[in-house]
């Protein structure tokens, strides 16, 4: 099984932090090209569900070094480009994976394992880069209150919760319960259109989706949402958050019979739990796939370049971002098939409760035989994080993010009896949560609230998952001894 083992990377420039010596200093910037940073030697490929707005592709930037090559794996090729959605691809249909994500064996031919390419739920050409942002420098600002999340996914018209046992799920009942709460999103412009997915989260017509689904919507574009029963409504953007790849749109004339989804507690998930993905892959609304939770707390990095480009196989484009940040998600990994167009759709448990927003997949590059789309490795933003961000976007149109105030690198340290991998503190800024907690340069963080941290990226993902004002217990190794330090997270300056 392929695992994600991120390498050491510097902190985003502009926050006063100094990256570890020996590391590349060029970060990955936000913009239109989204990519997921994989372990050494594996390149995640960007993709998204935004429209073809006549933008050229991103060229590789030689100033942005990529992840060091893995000698055990060949280099991956970029996905081939296909026509826009209005022009179906010519030639034979795409090759779909088997249930476990593996392609059937071919007699007389031994397939080599190629680079994994992660995409924001819509396959795209390979983008350059390979660094990520460490935890941002604090600005000293205090947590601010946001709208309560208790009303999201609730109310008289809330979608029903299926009475099902995780050991014996009734997927027919689950699909019937959840389908009315999932919509197909279409973004149209003079140059073309794009399709994605979204989830109804309240009776007022607020729909949660991925930022990269709607970020291409500008002057002269329109957004519509089509309900499960075929009714289509105009929508406007209530707020976007490129840092978490989440957005909320609002139906302009929400009907009275909307069925908001029931939102579960993603903290209760366990590896092996059965899950269902439902969305609008390739424009096929209401598509349902099932699988299990393959892993939890999987650090996944996506980034974007400012240039606006036509990147994906169906004329759609990668994520847009303008703040220079990097999306780092403490993701749910699932074997449920997630394909182009599933972005922003629901990942639910056997009871029909939302536990994640589908946002990215891993796929093989063309050197692996040309297979794109799902290979049984998909990623979703945990529902708890999505719910918190959504409530802020509804309240103010933007979201605040927690941070620690350090620069990081990958390292191993002794706990007195064995070696432990973790995130090494390479610099601490004054008047930050890290400084107040007593962290020191050289400390190696190995856990956050008892959740294992085995890399710098893992620590970043754990911190970004939390809310402003949260208290976290950091388990660190210092001079062979294990210490527990408590930090109270504050808002990042760019928030």
Q: What pLDDT score was predicted for residue 328?
A: 85
Task: Please state, in angstroms and rounded to a whole number, the distance separating the CA atoms of residues 246 and 464.
Answer: 13
- Please state the pTM of the whole predicted model: 0.66
Averaged over successive runs of 10 residues, the pLDDT of the chain (495 residues) comes to: 35 35 33 39 39 34 36 34 37 43 43 39 30 31 38 56 75 95 92 90 96 83 94 96 94 95 96 95 88 94 41 31 63 92 93 95 62 78 96 94 92 91 95 95 96 93 92 95 95 72
Does residue 95 form part of some domain? no
Q: What pLDDT score was predicted for residue 361?
A: 85
Does residue 269 form part of some domain? yes
Task: Please state, in angstroms and rounded to a whole number, the distance separating the CA atoms of residues 392 and 147.
Answer: 6
Place of tokens 């995130």: 423
- Cβ atoms of 275 and 355 within 8 Å: the answer is yes
- Single out the catalytic residue among 49, 50, 77, 245: 245
CA angle centred on 446, ends 443 and 450, rounded to 5°: 130
The last residue of a domain, from among 399, 428, 451? 399
Q: What residue numbers bound the domain in which 422 lies?
A: 402-491
Q: Please say whether the dihedral angle defined by the alpha carbons of residues 93, 99, 103 and 107, taken in this order, is positive or negative.
A: negative
Q: Please say whether the dihedral angle defined by the alpha carbons of residues 301, 305, 308 and 311, taken in this order, is positive or negative.
A: negative
* Whether residues 138 and 275 fall in one domain: yes
Find the Cα–Cα–Cα–Cα dihedral 404, 409, 412, 416, rounded to 10°.
Answer: -40
CB neighbour list of residue 358: distance below 8 Å, 6 or more residues apart: 121, 197, 277, 279, 338, 342, 343, 344, 345, 346, 347, 378, 379, 380
* Whether residues 418 and 308 fall in one domain: no
Q: What pLDDT score was predicted for residue 26?
A: 34
* Whether residues 207 and 312 fall in one domain: yes
Q: What pLDDT score was predicted for residue 164?
A: 65
* Whether residues 353 and 433 fall in one domain: no
CATH number of the domain enclosing 486: 2.30.42.10
The last residue of a domain, from among 369, 399, 429? 399
Q: What pLDDT score was predicted for residue 365?
A: 60
Is 443 an active-site residue? no
Does residue 93 form part of some domain? no
CB neighbour list of residue 293: distance below 8 Å, 6 or more residues apart: 269, 270, 271, 272, 273, 275, 332, 333, 334
Is 5 an active-site residue? no
Place of tokens 């031994």: 110
How do 262-263 and 353-364 pair as beta strands? Answer: parallel
* Whether residues 242 and 312 fall in one domain: yes
- Single out the catalytic residue among 79, 206, 212, 401: 212
CATH number of the domain enclosing 299: 2.40.10.120
Beta strands in 153-286 (DSSP E): 182-189, 192-200, 206-209, 222-226, 232-241, 246-251, 262-263, 274-279
Task: Please state, in angstroms and rounded to a whole number, the distance separating the CA atoms of residues 248 and 390.
Answer: 6
Does residue 105 form part of some domain? no
Task: Please state, in angstroms and rounded to a whole number, the distance separating the CA atoms of residues 473 and 437.
Answer: 9
* Whether residues 186 and 219 fall in one domain: yes
CB atoms within 10 A of CB 260: 26
Q: What pLDDT score was predicted for residue 72?
A: 36
* Whether residues 481 and 332 fall in one domain: no
Does residue 107 form part of some domain? no
Place of tokens 């989260």: 201
The last residue of a domain, from among 366, 399, 432? 399
Q: What pLDDT score was predicted for residue 151?
A: 65
* Whether residues 356 and 458 fall in one domain: no
Closest by CA position to 116, among listed 219, 222, 38: 38
Task: Please state, in angstroms and rounded to a whole number, the distance separating the CA atoms of residues 264 and 466.
Answer: 17
Is 77 an active-site residue? no
Q: What pLDDT score was predicted for residue 165?
A: 66
DSSP 56-76: PPPPP-TTS--PPP-TTSPPP
Backbone angles phi, psi at 278, to 5 degrees: -135, 135
Does residue 472 form part of some domain? yes
Query: Which two tokens mark 299?
Result: 């650090």
* Whether residues 251 and 348 fall in one domain: yes
Q: What pLDDT score was predicted for residue 393?
A: 97
* Whether residues 25 and 51 fall in one domain: yes
* Whether residues 280 and 410 fall in one domain: no
How do 206-209 and 222-226 pair as beta strands? Answer: unpaired
Could you give the number of structural domains in the chain? 2
* Whether residues 316 and 455 fall in one domain: no
Does residue 66 form part of some domain? no
Does residue 100 form part of some domain? no
């Amino acid at each position: 099984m392929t695992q994600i083992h991120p390498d050491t990377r510097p902190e985003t420039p502009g926050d006063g932090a100094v990256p570890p010596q020996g590391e590349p200093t060029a970060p990955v910037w936000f913009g239109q090209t989204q990519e997921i940073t994989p372990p050494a030697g594996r390149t995640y490929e960007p993709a998204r569900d935004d429209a073809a707005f006549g933008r050229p592709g991103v060229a590789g930037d030689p100033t942005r070094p990529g992840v060091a090559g893995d000698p055990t794996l060949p280099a991956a090729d970029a996905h081939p480009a296909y026509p826009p959605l209005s022009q179906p691809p010519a030639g034979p249909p795409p090759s779909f994976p088997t249930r476990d994500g593996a392609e059937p064996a071919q007699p007389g031919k031994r397939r080599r394992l190629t680079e994994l390419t992660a995409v924001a739920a819509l396959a795209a050409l390979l983008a350059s880069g390979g660094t990520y942002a460490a935890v941002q420098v604090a600005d000293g600002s205090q947590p601010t209150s946001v709208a309560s999340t208790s009303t999201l996914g609730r109310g008289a018209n809330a979608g029903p919760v299926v009475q099902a046992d995780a050991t014996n799920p009734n997927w027919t009942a689950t699909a019937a319960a959840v389908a009315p709460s999932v919509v197909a999103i279409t973004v149209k412009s003079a140059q073309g259109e794009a399709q994605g997915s979204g989830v109804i989260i309240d009776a007022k017509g607020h729909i949660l989706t991925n930022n990269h689904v709607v970020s291409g919507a500008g002057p002269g574009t329109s957004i519509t949402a089509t309900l499960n029963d075929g009714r289509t409504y105009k929508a406007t953007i209530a707020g976007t958050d490129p840092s978490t790849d989440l957005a909320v749109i609002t139906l302009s004339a929400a009907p009275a019979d909307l069925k908001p989804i029931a939102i579960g507690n993603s903290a209760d998930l366990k590896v092996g739990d059965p899950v269902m993905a439902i969305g609008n892959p390739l424009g096929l609304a209401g598509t349902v796939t099932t699988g299990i939770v393959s892993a939890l707390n999987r650090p996944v990095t996506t980034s974007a370049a400012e240039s606006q480009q036509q990147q994906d196989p169906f004329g759609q484009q990668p994520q847009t971002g303008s703040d220079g940040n990097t999306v780092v998600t403490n993701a749910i990994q699932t074997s449920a098939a997630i394909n182009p167009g599933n972005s922003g759709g629901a990942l639910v448990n056997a009871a029909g409760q939302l536990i994640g927003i589908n946002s990215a997949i891993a796929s093989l590059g063309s050197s692996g035989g040309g297979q794109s789309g799902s290979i049984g490795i998909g990623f979703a933003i945990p529902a708890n994080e999505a719910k918190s961000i959504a409530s802020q976007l509804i309240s103010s149109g933007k979201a605040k993010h927690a941070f620690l105030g350090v620069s990081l690198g990958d390292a191993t340290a002794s706990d007195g009896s064995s070696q432990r991998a973790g995130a090494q503190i390479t610099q601490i800024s004054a008047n930050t949560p890290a400084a107040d907690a007593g962290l020191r340069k050289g400390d190696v963080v190995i856990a956050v609230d008892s959740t294992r941290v085995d890399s710098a990226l893992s620590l970043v993902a754990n911190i970004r998952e939390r809310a402003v004002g949260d208290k976290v217990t950091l388990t660190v190794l210092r001079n062979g001894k294990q210490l527990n330090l408590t930090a109270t997270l504050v808002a990042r300056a760019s928030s």
